[in-house]
């Protein structure tokens, strides 16, 4: 099979298309012929070994590899057609249209991917293309975990989403609105109309307005891009408000512990791993039209270096999709 492989950490150009051995499914695995995958900020961080905080920078070589990558094929999600199933697989059969999240196992930038039947693997709704389906999980799984499980957003609450046009942000706006919240999004001028169309009741153009000014108060502030801090946003929160940090360092870990003990305003964060139940839920929302995929750009596998460059630019809107022939 063809796969996008890298043997050293660095810029997009370290990625090359190479022939790799086909994966061999176990009796509990589903072998997927990939039609679409994505390049995400997770791929960028792993490929470039760029971590969000000093503590992660120190442990990165142990986790990602000391002399070279432990996982030579990147990619955390893929959509395609089941090619073969193991002897003990009962929920899927050859020909099924499926989507899988490989998470920390990576490996989705390839023509063939093995996924365990009980993992984050489910069918693609008939009204979604592979490109549309694969554009959803990376951002939406994080947004769902933060808004539904950590903050427990409820009807009528006011939610501020910082970085509202990124992969996490576009999902967060829609999911918070689905939970009944009054959503305010923060993004650049070019993306104001998009964020509003996704359900934001108000949109702040970060290029012309400081979201920290104006006197608005929120029950939840979700920073999807590490653009601010709890200290800067404390006055934006209600007395029991929550600051949700997607990018976490030593400061945020300390604040999470301290605010939990002190009560009142809280700092929360989590390392999110995919679950089958959450992926099924997201696909059902997408099927019903309640969660719309946002695709920034699409590249064929042979141009995956360009896809990495687009992600590295920091200017993508939604997801960068890679089609696999």
Rounded mean pLDDT, 318-325: 96
Reported pTM: 0.95
Same domain, 69 and 174: no
**Same domain, yes or no: 18 and 66:** yes
The stretch 99-113 carries a mean pLDDT of 97
Identify whether residues 142 and 197 lie together within a single domain.
yes
pLDDT band at 79 (very low <50, low <70, confident <90, very high): very high
pLDDT band, very low/low/confident/very high, at 250 (cuts 50, 70, 90): confident
Question: For residue 59, is pLDDT > 80?
Answer: no
Please indicate, yes or no, whether residues 190 and 129 belong to a single structural domain of this protein: no
Give the per-residue pLDDT at 265.
97
Contacts 24+ apart (CB under 8 A), 243-248: 243/267, 243/268, 244/146, 244/147, 244/150, 244/151, 244/220, 244/268, 244/269, 245/269, 246/142, 246/146, 246/168, 246/222, 247/52, 247/53, 247/223, 248/52, 248/53
DSSP symbols for 56-82? HHHHHHHHH-SSS-SSSB--SEEEEEE
258 near 280, Cβ under 8 Å?
no
Structure tokens at 270: 């989590």
Same domain assignment for residues 130 and 232: no
On whether both 156 and 193 belong to a single domain, the answer is yes
Alpha carbons 79 and 81: distance in angstroms, whole number: 7
Tokens 């006197």 found at:
215
Distance CA 18, CA 41 (A): 22
CB atoms within 10 A of CB 3: 26
Query: What confidence tens digit (pLDDT) does each residue in 262-311 have?
Result: 989 999 999 999 999 999 999 999 999 999 999 999 999 999 999 999 99
Residue 278 lies in a domain: no
**Are 153 and 94 members of one domain?**
no
Same domain (yes/no): 112, 147: no
Give me the chain's average pLDDT, please: 95
Give pLDDT tens digits for 139-195.
Answer: 999 999 999 999 999 999 999 999 999 999 999 999 999 999 999 999 999 999 999
- The tokens of 97 are what? 């249209």
pLDDT for 60 beyond 80: no
Total number of domains in the chain: 2
- Does position 51 have pLDDT exceeding 80, yes or no? no
CA atoms of 79 and 38, how far apart (whole Å):
10
Based on the fold, state whether residues 263 and 156 are members of the same structural domain: yes
List, in order, residues 6 or more apart from 128 with CB less than 8 Å away. 283, 286, 287, 293
> In this structure, is residue 287 part of a structural domain?
no
DSSP for residue 263: -
Look at residues 268, 284, 310 and tell me which one is the last residue of a structural domain. 268
Percent of the chain with pLDDT over 90: 90
In a domain, 275, yes or no: no
Query: With 70 as the cut, is the pLDDT of residue 25 above it?
Result: yes
250: in domain: yes
If asked whether residues 98 and 199 sit together in one domain, one would say no
Note the residue count of the chain.
Answer: 325
pLDDT at position 56 over 90: no
Do 108 and 119 belong together in one domain?
yes
- Say which CATH number the domain at 24 has: 3.90.180.10
pLDDT higher for 17 or 63?
Answer: 17
List, in order, residues 6 or more apart from 104 with CB less than 8 Å away: 76, 273
How many CB atoms are closer than 10 A to CB 42?
20
What is the domain range of residue 160?
A: 138-268
Q: What CATH number did the domain enclosing 176 receive?
A: 3.40.50.720
Residue 172 and residue 211 share a domain:
yes
């Amino acid at each position: 099979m063809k796969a996008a492989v890298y043997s050293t950490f660095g810029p997009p150009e370290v990625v090359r298309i190479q022939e790799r051995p086909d994966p061999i499914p176990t009796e509990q695995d589903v072998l997927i012929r990939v039609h679409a995958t994505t390049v995400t900020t997770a791929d960028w961080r792993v490929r470039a070994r760029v971590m969000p905080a000093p503590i992660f920078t120190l442990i990165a070589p142990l986790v990602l590899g000391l002399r070279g990558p432990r996982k030579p094929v990147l990619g955390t999600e893929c959509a395609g057609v089941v090619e073969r199933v193991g002897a003990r697989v009962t929920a899927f059969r050859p020909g099924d249209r499926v989507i899988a999240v490989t998470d920390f196992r990576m490996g989705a930038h390839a023509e063939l991917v093995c996924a365990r039947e009980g993992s984050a693997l489910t069918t693609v709704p008939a009204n979604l293309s592979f490109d549309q389906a694969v554009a959803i999980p990376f951002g939406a799984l994080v947004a769902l975990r933060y808004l539904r499980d950590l903050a427990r957003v409820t009807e009528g609450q006011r939610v501020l989403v910082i970085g509202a046009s990124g992969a996490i942000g576009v999902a967060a706006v829609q999911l918070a609105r689905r939970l009944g919240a009054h959503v305010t999004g923060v993004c650049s001028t070019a993306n104001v109309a998009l964020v509003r169309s996704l359900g934001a009741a108000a949109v702040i153009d970060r290029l012309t307005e400081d979201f920290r000014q104006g006197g608005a108060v929120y029950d939840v502030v979700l920073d999807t891009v590490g653009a601010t801090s709890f200290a800067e946003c404390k006055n934006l929160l209600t007395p029991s408000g929550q600051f949700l940090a997607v990018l976490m360092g030593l400061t945020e870990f300390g604040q999470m512990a301290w605010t939990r003990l002190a009560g009142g305003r809280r700092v929360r964060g989590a390392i999110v791993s995919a679950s089958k139940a959450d992926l099924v839920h997201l696909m059902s929302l997408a099927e019903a039209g309640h969660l719309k995929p946002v695709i920034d750009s699409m590249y064929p596998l042979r141009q995956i270096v360009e896809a990495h460059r687009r992600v590295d630019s920091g200017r993508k809107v939604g997801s960068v999709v890679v089609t696999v022939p």
